[in-house]
Amino acid sequence: MAEPLLVGNCSGFYGDRLGAMREMLEGGPLDVLTGDYLAELTMLILGRDTLKDPSLGYARTFVRQVEQSLGLALERGVRIVSNAGGLNPAGLAERLREVARGLGLDPVIAHLEGDDLRDRADELGFTGALTANAYLGAAGIAEALRAGADVVVTGRVTDASLVVGPAIAHHGW
């Protein structure tokens, strides 16, 4: 039987406590630290952000948390998994790479796509929708972790996927 997987969570919503990521990393043993930033209202906020600046659309507070905590996470071997990518997981992943370079770190940062249906909104009967997303599952997160990712950022995934993905990777399910 595999060793237990120790999972902590540092966010339940966009705007949760900024210091929570570091507190979790300093609070005891962990294998994975998750963060859930997305809700329907958050998607609206992120959609409005992209109208002002298409390079945004992700939870910007997550960037600050990672900047304050990435070195400690890497030092302790804790992987970070979050849906903070919102409407722009690729943009968030690139921003995190910039932050890591600025810190002199070189983590493997993966992002998942496929949930954003804005390009198909008219076809799906959502003409004029600011956002349109499908919930993805845990498989992509597990695959990214198995491939060696230190940080995985996603857009819309089921809430449980943030924990189930790491469990799949850890237990070989």
d(CA 54, CA 49): 7
pLDDT at residue 107, as a whole number: 99
11: which 2 tokens?
Answer: 């966010």
**Mean pLDDT, the chain cut into blocks of 10 residues (173 residues total):** 91 94 98 97 96 97 98 99 98 99 99 94 89 96 99 98 99 95
| Structural domain spans, the chain | 7-166
Residue type, 4: P
Strand-pair partners of 122: none
Q: Sort 5 into a burial class: Cβ within 10 Å, 0-12 / 13-18 / 19+.
A: middle
pLDDT at residue 113, as a whole number: 96
pLDDT at residue 2, as a whole number: 73
